[in-house]
Amino acid sequence: MQETFSIIKPDATKRNITGSINMLIEKSGLRIIAQKRIKLNKDQAVQFYIVHKEKSFFNDLVDYMTSEPVVVQVLSGENAIERYREVMGATNPENAEEGTIRKQHALNVQENSVHGSDSIENAKKEISFFFKSEEIVG
Ligand code: IDP
Ligand code: MG
């Protein structure tokens, strides 16, 4: 069993499709073992995406991530980190496979509906950034 960190992003909360996304997560066999709706502040968004600080899209990304509420989640399952990356689909929805969250719901490469951790180390870091251990109930 493994845990990964997920965000349902502002484009999705704004369009009221958090339930549709959770349905795809649960249909994939992953379990939502922690979840809360929050509004990120600028400091949180900058810190969360700090690895992208040199990218041309960084400022836009921070503005977008703070524009509307998000839903932060911990997902568990076998091989959850890689599994959720598959369920999400490619970063750019134009390249995402049929049936993935991003193929079904993303608007464009920035407003791509979901985040998922990309490594064990980052999953640990991202989960503890948003959740206390007693908020995670498997
Ligand atoms: P990921 O979310 O699939 O892991 P990353 O490369 O880590 O993709 O990028 C983080 C986020 O930054 C993306 O999910 C997307 O919201 C945004 N992003 C990535 N590449 C671009 C781009 O080329 N233009 C605009 N936004 C981008
Ligand atoms: Mg990433």
Q: Is the CB of 115 under 6 A from ligand 1?
A: yes
- From first to last of the 138 residues of the chain, give the pLDDT tens digit: 999 999 999 999 999 999 999 999 999 999 999 999 999 999 999 999 999 999 999 999 999 999 999 999 999 999 999 999 999 999 999 999 999 999 999 999 999 999 999 999 999 999 999 999 999 999
In the sheet with 70-77, reading across from the earlier edge strand, the strands are: 31-38, 70-77, 2-8, 114-116
User: Among all ligands shown, which has an atom nearest to the Cα of 114?
Assistant: 1
What pTM was computed for the model? 0.98
C-alpha 50 to ligand 1 mean position (Å): 12
Q: What pLDDT does residue 91 have?
A: 98
Strand partners of residue 3: 76
Q: What pLDDT does residue 29 have?
A: 98
